[in-house]
Amino acid sequence: MAHLRVENLTKTFHAGGEPVRAVGGVSFTIERGKTLALIGESGSGKSTVGRLVLRLVDADAGRVHLGDVDVLSLPPHRVRAQRREMQIVFQEPFESLNPRMRVADIVAEPLVIHERGLTKDQRRQRVRDVLDEVGLVDYGDRYPQGLSGGQQQRIGIARALITNPSFVVLDEPTSSLDLSVQAQVLDVLSQVQERHGLAYLYISHDLATVREIADDVAVMYRGEFREVGPVAAITSDPRDPYTRLLMSGFLSVDPREAPAPLQSAPARPGVDLNEPGCVFRARCVHVAEECSGTDLSLSPVGDTKMLRQVRCVRHDELAPAPDDVPRSGADPTCPPPDRQER
């Protein structure tokens, strides 16, 4: 049974008086112990989805259920209490840490808000336990500016875990780290998830880390999901033209392999994306008459047991030939490694 259920989540911002649709009616579920990744270009709406789910930003419409709790209908005083169940790890670790506070005090801060009945000794032990869980048990007396980027991010993870949440938004948690440190942080996140059965919403533009940590992936463009399904299926056989474009931007780890050609055309002038139709049609090399005039919905593709959906009306025509599979930085025919074997 899904632990997080999101239905028709919608948000429009107004920039200079003009409406800008940031999120246009997305729906998804995440089970305990599972990870859904959101990928897409900058400005596609990924981070906004995470903030809407956590009610850091108010949604215009939609429903968010965490367990049995209807998050969007909670009055403000109950939202604060609900935050102990849903936490976030931010993109830039140092910017989210107070440089004037010691690590132990930073990690303990959520306990001061959510568990005021704890004694100082109990609070100290909880902090020590969670720092041990992220591999920094001896760093409580240090200041964040004295730590590496990877260590700072682990502090952010520890602070998110201190209230024993069941759902965590990971907003590009490895984007500012080098590759070796990325692997360490992902390993910590995977171990913590397995130990506590956490549900993750993993927001990223890095396909390599998505393949490592995610079970399913949703590809976003202009506030809507273009393709949704198991990460191995979508990265090896993308059926939406935008997904193909996104995959073609990732280089193979094999220097002998040439990058895949970009599956995109220059934006066509005169296409009004406020009119019904595919929002990618101005850039799509496969655009056809049926791509305009009617708003398109996600439709099942292939084996229904895979629960894979795509928005493109021509997805059946886009099944790749063997030499046409976009490069993804790894063998696209291989599924992500089983995290239980680490």
Q: Domains along the chain?
A: 2-219 (3.40.50.300)
Beta bridge partner(s), residue 203:
38, 171
Cβ atoms of residues 210 and 216 within 8 Å: no
Query: In this predicted structure, what is the pLDDT of residue 338?
Result: 43
The total number of residues shown for the chain amounts to: 342
Query: In this predicted structure, what is the pLDDT of residue 290?
Result: 84
Q: What is the DSSP letter of 277?
A: B
Phi, psi of 32, deg, nearest 5? -60, 135
- The region that residue 303 occupies, defined by phi over 0 for left and psi between -120 and 50 for alpha, beta otherwise, is beta
Query: In this predicted structure, what is the pLDDT of residue 341?
Result: 36
Query: In this predicted structure, what is the pLDDT of residue 322?
Result: 39
- pLDDT by 10s per residue, the chain, length 342: 799 999 999 999 987 778 889 999 999 999 999 999 999 988 999 999 999 999 999 999 999 999 999 999 999 889 988 999 999 998 887 888 999 999 999 999 999 888 888 899 999 999 999 999 999 999 999 999 999 999 999 999 999 999 999 999 999 998 878 888 899 999 999 999 999 999 999 999 888 899 999 999 999 999 999 999 999 989 888 889 999 888 876 655 455 555 555 555 556 666 666 778 888 888 888 888 888 877 788 988 876 555 789 998 888 776 654 344 444 343 333 344 344 333
Residue 143: closest CA among 111, 181, 104, 182: 104
The torsion defined by the Cα of 191, 192, 193 and 196, in degrees rounded to 10, comes to 120
End-to-end CA distance of the chain: 26
* Cα atoms in the 13 Å half-sphere on the side-chain side of 134: 27
Total-model pTM: 0.86
Taking the C-alpha atoms of residue 1 and residue 5, their distance in angstroms, rounded to an integer, is: 10
Radius of gyration, CA atoms only, the chain:
21
Task: Please enumerate in sequence order all residues whose Cβ is within 8 A of that of 227, keeping only pairs 6 or more positions apart, or say none.
Answer: 218, 219, 234, 238, 239, 240, 242, 243, 308, 309, 310, 311, 312
Cβ atoms of residues 22 and 187 within 8 Å: no
* Cα atoms in the 13 Å half-sphere on the side-chain side of 297: 5
